[in-house]
Structure 1
Amino acid sequence: MTTTPSQRIHARLRPLDATSARWTSGFWGQMHDRTRDVTIPQIWSSLSDPAVSPGLINFQIAAGLTDGAHAGPPFMDGDFYKWLEAAIASLETDPDAELAARIEELATLIASVQRDDGYLHTPVLIQALHAEQAVALADRFNFETYNLGHLITMGVRHHAVTGSTTLLDVARRAASFLEMLATDKPLELARSAICPSHYMAVIELYRATDDPQYLELAEAFLRVRDDFDGGDDNQDRLPVREQKVAAGHAVRANYLYAGLADLVAENGDEELLNVLEGLWNDVVDTKLYVTGGCGALYDGASPDGSPWQSDISRVHQAYGRSFQLPNTTAHNESCANIGMILWSERMLSLTGDARYADVIEQISYNSLLASISLDGGAYFYTNPLRQVRDLPFPLRRPGDTALHPTPTPPPSDERLRERYLSCFCCPPNIARTLARFHERAASVSPDGVFVHQYGGSELALGDGILSLREDSDYPWNERITFTVTGASDGGLPIHLRIPGWSSGATLAVNGQAQAVSEPGSYTRVEREWVVGDVITLTLPMPVRVLRGHRLAEEITNQVAVRRGPVVYALESTDLPEGVVLEQAALRRGASFEVSTDEVAGVSVTMLATQLAVLPDSQEDALYADIEDAALGSVPVRLIPYFTWGNRGASEMSVWLPVVW
């Protein structure tokens, strides 16, 4: 059973769910299969093994099924819920009796530990079980509202897919607890609204139940936030409507703005929509990496928060100033990049503007897929654009591979994906994003179907009114074909996204050329569709060499290479012996040969070219004379950025010096 969320009355587009959109072939079909067969089971193997993770056993302890103390970070409950959401999404697309039974068992377990007032946070519940002092919301960094938000979202999804009310009832009780806070303890709620997943959650609950109290609760969240005197770290230094630039913790920012976009879809607040558009533009125009990474800085200092030093707060994994985009020390937490997808898809639904789908594509093919290994079982927390050897300082890592003892982090040049991270927020977030990626394929409106993402979809709208099958090797090949596999009463108009990166796109229906709109828009194709009609969209993919903005000083006089939506990188694995990363430069006007080969057993498109070799300086001085030597030349292959780090420890760079 799958029920479709209602409402979104102020949105122009409604996303399709699994009853209407699937990835059945091609690039995203392969990713779907990998997520189902590897990622979701692998994460469960970690969460369910107490020697690796406390994810499951914390709930078992809270239920009195076993003895022990709470272990792991305070947001572990939320990460467990995210995995369950991924598993439920997999159950929806690929029914599996064993998985269904496990999900129902876990649903019963979760329901059994919830307090009567709706509160559920295993650290506090375990303390209370042991007759220890246990206080809810005692510390804003206990992430209780974050956990409850993911609980509600997962509960709504569980009901939609299975029809069971077990977790929907849990979600309702959790929302009641949040409503009590908003009414009776607004200061505690505002202070504890860290990583505000609960904004999105209560709107999902409203859509699932059609109960207006949950819409009113979302509006109360905003009022409470605006009355709280906080800081940039959690985007509560200024009332939301006064915010002009994205600042502070990038995950928290993106989650907040995604939740507010959900609110606009229900209440039609034009002023708030304008604020969100301005903030989104600020990120995309001045703070977004070419890979779609978000949150450049390990630590920011809230530089524009106040002229007084005493009022400036430390900000972790932060949006920095405009064009402040370091490469080696880029943070780009995987959750922040996913948060930008969540925000962008909601803005797309509100406006129908293709630029939001462009950014979803940019993130998805680059930073999202870089955050998970090619085999689907290991993960990055941060996503740099450059990796170098012998870094003279350690970069903080959440990647402890065991709970006790905490191992010494490996050297910086050994930054590799790991199967388990002690800060485990990213892996289940990656899993649920990929497991639900079919929801980003297309949307419907009164004007027809809008196809946002390409890569092997099948779409089936209404009661047989229109069905489409996509056949393509996108993003490696420029040709995308849609075949009409079902149509009644002439079907619907079809709107195909012409990516903003493209130039010279062509479109044909049954071999007859059609007009194509400009890049960064949707081309509308309308006719009386019949079974067997074929639409062919061709998106030429020349290799493009990109420069950065003049104020992005970390990439001055450097270039990046992109083909279609895919950003490329140079990995030291592909450099000849005797040439190191800092010697590699791209010649202006260099030619590229497109070829297919494998990285760690996965077939991808590579770009072969000749790189210039800069003189090698043996001096390790801070400053040294440049050597008067001729430039060398070596053949190399550039690989898709998302594939780096799958062949062992290496150096890597997206940006390369350019020489003439």
Structure 2
Amino acid sequence: MKIIKKPLLAFTAILTFAQAGLAAPHDEVTLIEKPVKISGISGIQGFIGDRMSLNRNTYLKNFPIDRYVDFVVNRKHTAWDWTSAEQHGKWIESAYLSALQSGDKELLAKAKKELYRIINSQEPSGYLGATAKDYRSKKRPIRGMDPYELYFVFHAFETVYEETGDKTALKAVEKLADYFLDNFGPGKNEFWASKTLRSPENKGKVLSGQSDFAGHSVHYAWEGTLLCDPVARLYEITGKKKYLDWSKWVVGNIDKWGGWDAFSRLDSVADGKLGVDKLQPYVHSHTFHMNFMGFLRLYRITGDKSLLRKVEGAWNDIANRQMYITGGVSVAEHYEHDFVKPLSGNIIETCATMSWMLLTQMLLQLTGDTKYADAMERLMINHVFAAQDAEKGSCRYHTAPNGVKPAGYFHGPDCCTASGHRIISLLPTFFYAESGKEFYINQYVGSHYDGRDMKFDIEGNYPADGNITINFRQGTDKELNLRIPAWCKNPTARLNGKNISGIEPGSYLKINRRWTKGDRLELSFPMEERWIMREHHADYEKYYLKDGEIMYREKPTQNIPCAFLRGPVVYCVDMVWNPQLHNDDCDILKDIRFDISSLPASIGKVDPTMMAGCFKAKGTYKGNPVDLILTPFANIGQWWRNGEAKPQPWADSFSYGIWTYPMKKKLK
């Protein structure tokens, strides 16, 4: 048995497609980790399995997709609003993935029907968006939000082809790409951030308003250039060099179109000389993530390491300064300066959660560095489901660490409701990966895996419990890579009853052997319970850009809040589960104090729907001693009390908070 304790940090030597089976035939860089087919994962258990079922059976199946496909097929849209025209792409991809993973034939048939309604509406030119034909012309071939809306159509059709082999979907997405190639390129239309400013007059100009072809002007063309990602993906699928050339042309012009040299200055971010927020006057998180994925795809295709370096540098800066305790990112949809991360308000957008998770997954695939899988775990088990309404499955636009509910769960359909169901449907693609003779387990969600030569079950109730068992039903010669979480101080592992030594947190435990039916791996990740104080805390003051984008200034404060964690699970005080306070929408930072001189007492689950066990802590409410119940932040999607009348959907009926202030003196 060979055990390798160090994480895999560099990309491996380039292998041919036939040797590795990992990269498209046209890629220079082989993925270290390639996700397994989603259809090979079944029986997802526990809290995550329940919430995925809610997403599939309650939200996706009941979503009025016919109405939104009608909106596209009728093609009469001329307004700026994009929320109606981005539903169909995200829903198609979500529905296909959910149906294939769960074996839901009813949902799969519905998804295929809607897919073909869209395909059959495609114009001979290849256009497949919602914009009216009489609005478009050779000089104005698209509406300003078309690239953003169609980004998800591109990816949906490409996913359908890769998962099912549907060549009709592939043909349709090629025609759509050709529409952009015919209308955008050297000597044709370009993705200028302004309706009027051109290079070099646009250099360093602060913009507002709307662009003709690249979304909001305040995004400085990146809302058009994001198409570099799905078009480069099409090159990987087809090998047609025109798609690669077009994607490279797009990326090569970001500096010119935006006027701020933001693409080139990513090197300064990688050098640690610049924060990602300084790249231009407004750095929209979700839009940047989508472009970053395009850069990584081009790195994979071309081997240009400078692209990987740019994205790794940006990721590190964001993770170090702008990532919240739950793994979520974005402040009022953008990245702020320094460590500015307000606790409440328009914080942690669901669209940004989706694209941050996907970007992090791409970096994991390319580098094999477990820090990315650790970040994904934190986001998956804390913030993804906190954004999901526990009754209907809809996802909030923003899910602040401290906030109120149920207001926020009931809106849309809009960009974030659609991004929420998309990321939940994608979750199984993050569990396992393979690489020739190597197999990776990155997320320990109870489930069954049935691959071509490996079959096993993951048992346990992680993260409610840190004990995990992997039972093999079929195996072969493989090097099994088991992610050992960086947060766990004393992990242990046993293979067929024998202890494995030398396990190192924050790395892969790599076991090389012939796996056979009956093999049993037992992992234990003891979960430390701890109070932590918030680092770089400040009070904040809002101000606004010309078009209403929210920005923040810091205000110094001597009050530092605390939070409670058990392992990777973040807890909060939620008024749904604290009726003894008799003030359901209390001001948590003002009225509640915790005694952090001792750890809270474990009380098990206060409700069967909880992700993990709950705790009872000592504290005060408005100065009076009180016991306070702490529940997993992932469960804030329950906005009613069992046995009581439910509040109105738009009410601010219950407050919750991860962060509270500690008592200045210990309770007697």
TM-score (norm 1): 0.80
Deviation at 1:252, TM superposition (A): 0.7
Deviation at 1:96, TM superposition (A): 4.4
CA distance in 2, matches of 1:545, 1:458: 35
Q: For 1:383, what is the secondary structure of its paired residue?
A: coil
- Seen in structure 2, the aligned counterparts of structure 1 residues 183 and 102 have a Cα distance that, compared at 3 Å, is farther
Structure 1 segment 98-247 matched on structure 2, within 5 A = 98-125=106-133, 128=134, 133-135=135-137, 142-180=144-182, 181-185=184-188, 187-188=190-191, 192=214, 193-194=222-223, 197-230=226-259, 236=262, 240-243=266-269, 244-247=274-277
CA distance in 2, matches of 1:279, 1:255: 13
Structure 2, gaps ≥5 residues long: 1-20, 194-212, 215-221, 278-282, 541-556, 641-652
Match of 1:90 in 2: 98
Q: Are the equivalent residues in 2 in contact too, given 1:545–1:560 (CA < 8 A)?
A: yes
Q: Which moved more, 1:438-447 or 1:280-289?
A: 438-447
Deviations 1:577-600 (A, max 9, x none): 35743221222232223333355x
Count of aligned positions:
572
Match of 1:250 in 2: 285
Match of 1:646 in 2: 638
- Seen in structure 2, the aligned counterparts of structure 1 residues 229 and 61 have a Cα distance that, compared at 3 Å, is closer
Q: Are the equivalent residues in 2 in contact too, given 1:149–1:196 (CA < 8 A)?
A: no
Match of 1:28 in 2: 48
Match of 2:501 in 1: 515
Write the letter of the residue equivalent to 2:127: Y
Match of 1:577 in 2: 581
CA distance in 1, matches of 2:252, 2:141: 21
- Seen in structure 2, the aligned counterparts of structure 1 residues 219 and 60 have a Cα distance that, compared at 3 Å, is closer
Match of 1:344 in 2: 360
Deviation at 1:357, TM superposition (A): 0.6
Match of 2:302 in 1: 267
Match of 1:558 among 533, 556, 561: 561
CA distance in 1, matches of 2:538, 2:318: 14
Match of 1:40 in 2: 60
RMSD, aligned α-carbons: 2.8
Q: Are the equivalent residues in 1 in contact too, given 2:322–2:340 (CA < 8 A)?
A: yes
Tell whether 2:412 aligns with 1:421: yes
Tell whether 2:623 aligns with 1:657: no
- Seen in structure 2, the aligned counterparts of structure 1 residues 588 and 101 have a Cα distance that, compared at 3 Å, is closer
- Seen in structure 2, the aligned counterparts of structure 1 residues 15 and 203 have a Cα distance that, compared at 3 Å, is farther
CA distance in 2, matches of 1:107, 1:574: 43
Match of 2:393 in 1: 377
CA distance in 2, matches of 1:637, 1:228: 53
Write the letter of the residue equivalent to 2:319: V
CA distance in 2, matches of 1:166, 1:185: 29
Q: Are the equivalent residues in 2 in contact too, given 1:148–1:174 (CA < 8 A)?
A: no
Q: For 1:183, what is the secondary structure of its paired residue?
A: coil
CA distance in 2, matches of 1:569, 1:577: 15
CA distance in 1, matches of 2:593, 2:524: 32
Match of 1:15 among 35, 38, 42: 35
Match of 1:353 in 2: 369
Match of 1:438 in 2: 428
Match of 1:619 in 2: none
CA distance in 2, matches of 1:337, 1:578: 34
Deviation at 1:383, TM superposition (A): 0.9
- Seen in structure 2, the aligned counterparts of structure 1 residues 529 and 104 have a Cα distance that, compared at 3 Å, is closer
CA distance in 2, matches of 1:4, 1:150: 24
Structure 1, gaps ≥5 residues long: 50-54, 63-67, 299-316, 389-412, 617-630
- Seen in structure 2, the aligned counterparts of structure 1 residues 238 and 266 have a Cα distance that, compared at 3 Å, is closer
Deviation at 1:137, TM superposition (A): 8.3
- Seen in structure 2, the aligned counterparts of structure 1 residues 87 and 657 have a Cα distance that, compared at 3 Å, is same
Deviations 1:264-315 (A, max 9, x none): 222222122112111101111100111122111x3xxxxxxxxxxxxxxxxx
Deviations 1:565-620 (A, max 9, x none): 22111112333235743221222232223333355x62443432333216x3xxxx
Q: Are the equivalent residues in 2 in contact too, given 1:226–1:240 (CA < 8 A)?
A: no
Match of 2:72 in 1: 59
Deviation at 1:179, TM superposition (A): 2.4
TM-score (norm 2): 0.79
Deviations 1:453-489 (A, max 9, x none): 111133344x42x32211010010010110111023x
- Seen in structure 2, the aligned counterparts of structure 1 residues 589 and 224 have a Cα distance that, compared at 3 Å, is same
Deviation at 1:414, TM superposition (A): 5.6
CA distance in 2, matches of 1:124, 1:73: 14
Q: Are the equivalent residues in 2 in contact too, given 1:585–1:656 (CA < 8 A)?
A: yes
- Seen in structure 2, the aligned counterparts of structure 1 residues 195 and 477 have a Cα distance that, compared at 3 Å, is farther
Deviation at 1:220, TM superposition (A): 2.0
Deviations 1:397-439 (A, max 9, x none): xxxxxxxxxxxxxxxx762411x515x1122222222222111
CA distance in 2, matches of 1:361, 1:265: 24
Tell whether 2:438 aligns with 1:448: yes
CA distance in 2, matches of 1:638, 1:349: 36
Write the letter of the residue equivalent to 1:550: H
Q: For 1:541, what is the secondary structure of its paired residue?
A: coil
CA distance in 1, matches of 2:631, 2:164: 42
Deviation at 1:241, TM superposition (A): 4.2
- Seen in structure 2, the aligned counterparts of structure 1 residues 425 and 479 have a Cα distance that, compared at 3 Å, is same
Identity of aligned residues (%): 21
- Seen in structure 2, the aligned counterparts of structure 1 residues 93 and 237 have a Cα distance that, compared at 3 Å, is closer
